[in-house]
Structure formats: C-alpha cells, structure tokens
C-alpha cells in the first residue's frame, strides 16, 4: 500500500489546473447505459474511482475506452446486474440503478452498505423509483427493481439531511425514459446534478429546472449518443485553495468555476484568506491574519460536507475557537483523532467539532480513513513541523488526480512511498 511522506513548512506557490469533477463524471458514466449509441465524455479525471466505474460498465456489457482525458462508452447490449464485488468497493456505483431501470425496466444492484462517514441509506432512491411504478425488493444483499411500465409522477426526495445527490441522479436517469411527466421535488441542486442533466439533455432528454429544487422531466422514447465535457471539480479546487491558505502560499487556480464555489470563497474570505478572481483564474493568498469562523455543512449552495475536513485543518492553525458543524453525514469526523495526533486541539460535541486553533502542528504518522479526511491530513502535513506520513492514501487516489504531482509542482515536499 502507498503512503505519502510529507516534509512540511513550504508555502505552496505557483499555478495548478483543476481536473474534471469526480462526482459529475461517475453518474455521467452511468448515464451512458441509457443508450446503445456511443457517448464521448471529455475532461475525465484519471482517478481510481473512474477506472472502477469503467470496470462496472464493462461488467454490465458496455465497451469502454479511455484515451487520456477522453472516455468513450458504447453500451449496445446491457445486462442488469451490479455485482456485490463491484458495488461494495465504491458507494457511488449505486447510480447505475436508475439508468439500468430506465433502459431495461429491471435491475439488480448490490446494496452499497455504510462506510466510515456514516450510514449510506438508499431509501430515497427506492422511494423515487417506486413513485415511477417500479417494484423494489431487497434479497440477498441486492436491491431488485422492476417496472414493466415506468410512468412519470410527482416525487418528493427530501430526507432527514435534505435532498440526496445520487438519489436525484438515479430518479432523473430512470425518468428520462418514463412515459409522461415526472416532477422531482426537493431535488438536489448540486452542480453535479446540473452537469448530469446537461449530458442527458444532449442525449435527447427533456429536462427543466436542474439546479433548482424542482426538476421536471418529459419522458422520451429513446436517447441517442452524445458528447460532453465534465465540469471542473469544485472540491479539488476548494482543497487547493485551503492548502494555499494553510501554508501561507500564493497559488493560482486554472479552470475552477467560481460560481460553484461561492460558499467556500465566502467562508475563506471571512477567515481572512485573500481570493482574487481574474477571468478564469483564481489567486489565493493567506492575507495578513487568519480569523476563526463557524462553518455548518449544508446541501448546495451551502458549505459542502466534502470540504469540512480540509476547512477544519485551516481552523486548527487559526488562533481562537471555531465551531464546525456537520449536517450531512453523521460520523464524518474520523480525521479529528488523527489531527489530534499532530497536536490539533479539537473536541467533538454531537454534530459539532470545537476547534481551539493556534497550536503548531507537528508531523506524525497518520492514517487516512476516507477521501476528504485524507486530503485534510495531507494539508496538515504540508503545514506541520517535521515529517508526516499519511498512510492508506489509496483513498486520496480515488478522488484527486495526481495530487502528489500537483503539490510537488507547487513546491511541496511530498513523496509517494511504500507503507512501512
């Protein structure tokens, strides 16, 4: 297993290009199952999750070809079984359920199960497809859905923690080939949902309102092949912005969509980080003095849960008390104890982490528990005195394209080594 050895203390300086969004490309890849015609997807990030989704599509019968940042999928014939061995490795693969149901009118997909960031229920996905006329049954760890006829309906997808991103994607992908009109209420508004809707529209789907809580779909008989360029990864952009601020550096981001980063930019500015936009470039410097801020994660356009761990590292460096409240996933604080091993003072009170910032971080061996926690530990390592070894970085390779190369190009001392 690989790990990162980081010698901290170097301010990041230079330019970095933001890759395509992982959480856009995964459902978009699943959507290619909706047509027998070839689809071409551009700006595809080279990530283990993307390769893995490619494997899933192959296991379902599709031809999948990667050529650098371009991916071609032709799903001429599709079988409807998403195997346990496949789905359990990546919870995001549940988004094959909607397109399989849309295309084949039936599917059998392994239930994803929980993970370190909390339970990952799919009750809302199932509620949505049931509203379209599908029967759902859990058997042997699989969810089996079938609908001789899929018919448009009004579907409310709000849950305990707000809307569901992949639930919205699944219902959207099932409804584009349903008969009649589907209205998804309390739909997720994330840019990744809009990106998926844009791809589906270019395949011939009729969708209105994506990006708002009400999405209306007029079902069509069939979809055709299409070409699409994936949006830039707003979470990768936010991670580099925070890394630049945390190290007291000066980094210019190329290709980030500032309109997708409003809540992050607003919070970072409140914390004293300087962010200047010039055309498509975003320049991030620390500013004179960091200030503690309170952050609550919320569905889009609120502060993203996927940036909570990274923001917490910045607050450990900021003198004063910051309160970081996680409202999306119940146990997304696995990074707290690892940051504690580096000297951070953080106490958990229910859904909130109380960060007493200002104490210097010191390098230590730490263990990554999930993708975003790993990114946070890497940022902490970049700032800490001495050497930090971040173990189990296969998590980070799932969602950050060549992060070690990108960090090294900004001056960071990061090496990929064998885990001891």
Which residues contact ligand EPU by CB under 6 A? 23, 26, 92, 119-125, 159-161, 164-167, 188, 305-306, 328-329, 371-372, 399
Query: Does residue 189 carry a catalytic annotation?
Result: no
Least distance (Å) between residue 195 CB and ligand EPU = 11
**Structure tokens of 378?**
């890497």
252 vs 305 by CB, closer to ligand EPU: 305
What's the Cα-to-Cα distance from 168 to each of 26, 163, 405, rounded to whole Å? 14, 8, 34
Contact 152, 177 (CB under 8 A): no
**Structure tokens of 321?**
């008390």
Q: How far apart are CA 195 and CA 211, in angstroms?
A: 9
Cis peptide before 301 (omega within 30 of 0): yes
Contact 191, 300 (CB under 8 A): yes
Least distance (Å) between residue 356 CB and ligand EPU = 26
Q: What does DSSP say about strands 281-285 and 274-278: parallel, antiparallel, or unpaired? A: antiparallel
105 vs 234 by CB, closer to ligand EPU: 234
Question: What is the signed CA dihedral for 298, 302, 308, 311, rounded to 10 degrees?
Answer: -150
Residue from 180, 190, 126 nearest 151 by CA: 180
Query: If you ran DSSP here, which 8-state letter would residue 221 be given?
Result: S
80 vs 399 by CB, closer to ligand EPU: 399
The number of beta carbons lying within 10 Å of the beta carbon of residue 150 is: 22
18 vs 290 by CB, closer to ligand EPU: 18
Query: If you ran DSSP here, which 8-state letter would residue 384 be given?
Result: S
Least distance (Å) between residue 22 CB and ligand EPU = 6
Instruction: From the candidates 39, 95, 115, 189, give the one annotated as an active-site residue.
Output: 115
Contact 392, 368 (CB under 8 A): yes
Least distance (Å) between residue 143 CB and ligand EPU = 11
Least distance (Å) between residue 280 CB and ligand EPU = 24
The number of beta carbons lying within 10 Å of the beta carbon of residue 98 is: 33
Least distance (Å) between residue 167 CB and ligand EPU = 5
Q: How far apart are CA 408 and CA 399, in angstroms?
A: 18
**Structure tokens of 61?**
């019968």
Active-site positions read 115
């Amino acid at each position: 297993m690989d790990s990162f050895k980081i010698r901290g203390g170097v301010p990041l300086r230079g330019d970095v290009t933001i890759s395509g969004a992982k959480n856009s490309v995964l459902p978009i890849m699943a959507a290619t199952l909706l047509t027998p015609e070839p689809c071409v997807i551009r700006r595809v990030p080279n990530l283990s999750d993307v390769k893995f989704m490619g494997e899933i599509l192959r296991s379902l019968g599709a031809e999948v070809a990667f050529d650098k940042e371009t991916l071609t999928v032709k799903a001429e014939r599709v079988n409807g079984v998403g195997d346990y061995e496949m789905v359990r490795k990546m919870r995001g693969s549940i988004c094959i359920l909607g397109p399989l149901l849309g295309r084949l009118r039936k599917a059998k997909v392994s239930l994803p199960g929980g993970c370190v960031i909390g339970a990952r229920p799919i009750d809302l996905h199932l509620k949505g497809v049931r509203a379209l006329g599908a029967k759902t049954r859990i058997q042997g760890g699989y969810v089996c859905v079938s609908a001789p006829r899929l018919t448009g309906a009004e579907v409310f997808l709000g849950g305990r923690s707000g809307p569901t991103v992949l639930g919205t994607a699944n219902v959207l992908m099932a409804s584009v080939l349903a008969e009649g009109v589907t209205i998804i209420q309390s739909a997720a508004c994330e840019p990744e949902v809009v990106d998926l809707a844009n791809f589906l529209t270019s395949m011939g789907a009729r969708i209105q309102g994506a990006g708002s809580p009400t999405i209306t779909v007029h079902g069509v008989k069939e979809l055709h092949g299409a070409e699409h360029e994936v949006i830039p990864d707003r979470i990768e952009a936010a991670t580099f912005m925070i890394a630049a601020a945390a190290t007291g550096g000066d980094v210019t981001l190329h290709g980030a969509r500032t309109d997708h980063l409003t809540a992050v930019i607003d919070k970072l500015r409140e914390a004293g980080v300087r962010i200047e936009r010039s055309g498509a470039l975003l320049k991030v410097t620390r500013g004179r003095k960091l200030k503690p801020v309170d952050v609550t994660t919320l569905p889009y356009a609120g502060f993203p849960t996927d940036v909570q761990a990274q923001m917490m590292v910045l607050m450990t460096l900021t003198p004063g008390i910051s309160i970081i409240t996680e409202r999306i996933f119940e146990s997304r604080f696995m990074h707290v104890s690892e940051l504690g091993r580096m000297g951070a003072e953080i106490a958990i009170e229910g859904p909130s982490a109380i960060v007493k910032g200002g104490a210097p971080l010191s390098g230590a061996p730490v263990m990554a528990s999930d993708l975003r926690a790993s990114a946070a530990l890497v940022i902490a390592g970049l700032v800490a005195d001495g050497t930090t070894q971040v173990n189990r970085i296969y998590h980070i390779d799932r969602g950050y394209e060549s992060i070690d190369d990108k960090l090294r190009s900004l001056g960071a001392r990061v090496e990929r080594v064998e885990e001891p």
